Amino acid sequence: EKEIRRVGGSEIIPVNVRVLAATNKNLAQMCQKKLFREDLYYRLRKLYLEIPPLRDHISDLEELVDYFKRINGRPDLIISDELMDILYTSPWHGNVRELANIIEYFSVISTDGKVEAKDIPKDFFEMPAAEKKSSNTFTSLLYQKGNPDEFNAIIRAIYDTCATGKAASRKCIADLLVEQFPYMSEDRIRRRTDVLKEAGLIFKKAGPGGMRLTPEGHQYLRNLREEYRSR
């Protein structure tokens, strides 16, 4: 209609605008619970798209980090491997905006061209207790399904492959593990990665996307490294 009337007013005002609205709430459910106006919901619900949360496309994190470093004027800022592991592990409740904020913070506080895990603001990435799982929990599950050494090697191989920007396919993983596990066929890797997916440690995508670690998978790998260093 391209017309509005102020609340309590009588004058009709012509307008020519386009409204862009964004939310992380389920408005349909809120309408059912009478927490959101149904008439407004259907006025807004015309052309719409769903943007997945950062934790569901965590493989894009490194590219996003590089982008935010550039727009903050710090393209050469070095982020330590340990800190990158923490970034991969974060649940990112604030999505990409939260990532943009932390990279801006790192860009401001770094005086020597690099940032490490100790530079993270206190409690910035603190996860709710219900979301934390120790590596022992996953290790116990993997022991029931096969040789944990195989699972751990596959997880490391997926991480190493994704870190290079390549797709972590079964063939790629088999090639990486041929010396450590010469018997590791692509079919065996398929069965092992099915278990890892069921455990919530990896994502498996059909086609060229390959496999990648979930935030829980990154946390599991980080715990493995910490346990190895403490031996």
How far, in Å, CA of 73 to CA of 18, rounded? 33
| Higher-pLDDT residue of 74, 146 | 74
- Global pTM reads 0.53
Q: Where exactly are the structural domains of the chain?
A: 3-44, 54-127, 133-229
Contacts of 123 (CB under 8 A, 6+ apart): none
With contact defined as beta carbons under 8 Å apart, do 139 and 150 qualify? no
Specify whether domain 133-229 bears CATH 1.10.10.10.
yes
Give the tens place of pLDDT for each residue, 131-176.
Answer: 445 555 566 667 777 788 899 999 999 988 887 778 889 999 999 9
pLDDT at 13: 94
What does the pLDDT read at residue 173?
Answer: 93
Pick the residue with more confidence: 164 or 201? 201
Q: What share of the chain is helix, strand, coil (3-state, %, to 5)?
A: 55, 5, 40
| Cα–Cα distance measured from residue 143 to residue 163, given in angstroms and rounded to the nearest whole number | 27
Residue of higher predicted confidence among 197 and 228? 197
28 φ/ψ sector (left φ>0, alpha ψ -120 to 50, else beta): alpha
Do 70 and 230 meet the contact criterion of CB atoms below 8 Å apart? no
Work out the number of other CB atoms within 10 angstroms of the CB of residue 183. Answer: 8
Of 52-61, 77-86, 135-144, 210-219, least confident by mean pLDDT is 135-144
Question: In terms of CATH architecture, what is 54-127?
Answer: Orthogonal Bundle (1.10)
